[in-house]
Amino acid sequence: MPKIEKSKIKRILVITLSNIGDIVLTTPVVEALLREYPEAMLDIIAGPGGYEVFKKHGKISEVIIYDKKSSFLGKLRFFLGLWKKRYDFVVDLRNTVLPFLLGARYNTNPFRRDSKRNIHKKDVHLSRLKDMGIDTSGASFYLSIDESDRKYIEDTLAPLGGKPFVVVSPGAKSHVKRWPLKNFAKLSDMIKQNLGYETVLVGDEYDKVVTQRILHLMKAKPLNLAEKTNIRQLAYLIKKSSLVITNDSAPLHVASAMDARVLAFFGPTDEKKYGPATKAPSKVLRKKMGCAPCEVAQCVNVGNKYECLKAITVEEAFEAVKELLL
């Protein structure tokens, strides 16, 4: 890779990922670039969900929304709009052909094969900058939280009367990554009954069925904030919590960004790549078995589907909660 001449970098484009949790893991890349090139304009391409992550970041020039469902003509207009901006440096975290089409002076390497590297995804993303000679030491997560986000959460938490609470996130975009819902319900009840902590349920629109089922199964009803927070409000909620209990999902990565305490359940995915990256005490529960982590979209354990998660007992989880809270 050619050595970057700092004086040549006037405009930077970062092509980030699709899912909100994955996008949060790329925010250290943005922070490292802003530190390295403080005078440059930095734009970001993100999907509709990613817009909420970056829109209140004071140092980002523009968040450009890409709609993959747009027509050919719409995509052509999108490309021409980017081409006219004449970017000097394109950081592509998706490995597309776009950097070459845009004719940028510098591009990150699209031919890297890092999916098998046994390091956290945050560090995989940062290593792309390291390859370009950019200092990434100390690059941290960033989520913009403003006063309106804080006030919304403070008002929403008012029914708890200032009592300490645990955030419970039972959903995940893929069903294969979910600890059983009945276990989440039972664990939440045990936390309330035995430890005196309130529980706050979170999730997005994809978790509607999951949320309804949890509410039906629980005896001690939680404060239900599922579908009621954006990513920044969720971040502040997590920041105020005593603990986040979650599958491998977006709230896990938001918790890492907020340096919150985390208890995470892992089955098919690898916690070395996607586990908690928080400075606060955290714990991952997983079962050692030959097929896990399999990192595939459908469970291959025909004889006992989702055994890797079902084998984690409520009692084990409760002991982990006590270890993290007491």
* 180 and 279 in a common domain: yes
pLDDT for res 113 = 65
* 112 and 211 in a common domain: no
* 209 and 163 in a common domain: yes
pLDDT for res 287 = 87
* 111 and 183 in a common domain: no
CA distances from 42 to 4, 45, 321 (A): 16, 10, 41
| CATH number of the CATH domain containing 70 | 3.40.50.2000
Q: Sign of the CA dihedral 296, 95, 125, 112?
A: positive
Query: Which of the four pLDDT bands, split at 50, 70 and 90, describes residue 96?
Result: confident
- Let me know if residue 139 belongs to a domain: no
pLDDT for res 300 = 67
* 118 and 151 in a common domain: no
pLDDT for res 301 = 66
* 152 and 98 in a common domain: no
Residues 157-186: tens digit of each pLDDT: 999 999 999 999 999 888 889 999 999 999
Residues 226-272: tens digit of each pLDDT: 999 999 999 999 999 999 999 999 999 999 999 999 999 999 889 99
pLDDT for res 1 = 56
* 235 and 151 in a common domain: yes
User: DSSP secondary structure string, 186-252?
Assistant: HHHHHIIIII--EEEE---GGGHHHHHHHHHH-SSPPEE-TTS--HHHHHHHHHHSSEEEEESSHHH
Give the domain range for residue 46: 6-130
Pick the last residue of a domain from 105, 130, 155.
Answer: 130
Q: In what order do the strands lie in the sheet with 223-224?
A: 223-224, 198-201, 165-169, 243-247, 262-265, 282-285
* 297 and 178 in a common domain: yes
Query: What's the predicted TM-score (pTM) here?
Result: 0.92
Query: Which of the four pLDDT bands, split at 50, 70 and 90, describes residue 67?
Result: confident
* 180 and 314 in a common domain: yes
pLDDT of residue 292 exceeding 90: no
Residues 202-228: tens digit of each pLDDT: 999 888 889 999 999 999 999 999 999
Check if the beta carbon of residue 169 is closer than 8 Å to that of residue 247. yes
* 215 and 123 in a common domain: no
Facing residues of 65 across strands?
46
* 291 and 205 in a common domain: yes
pLDDT for res 97 = 85
Nearest Cα to Cα of residue 318 among 227, 146, 190:
190
Cis peptide before 293 (omega within 30 of 0): yes
CA distances from 284 to 96, 198, 263 (A): 33, 22, 6
* 228 and 171 in a common domain: yes
- Let me know if residue 248 belongs to a domain: yes
Q: Report how many domains make up the chain.
A: 2
Residues 4-35: tens digit of each pLDDT: 888 899 999 999 998 899 999 999 999 999 99
The two tokens of residue 25 are 């893991």
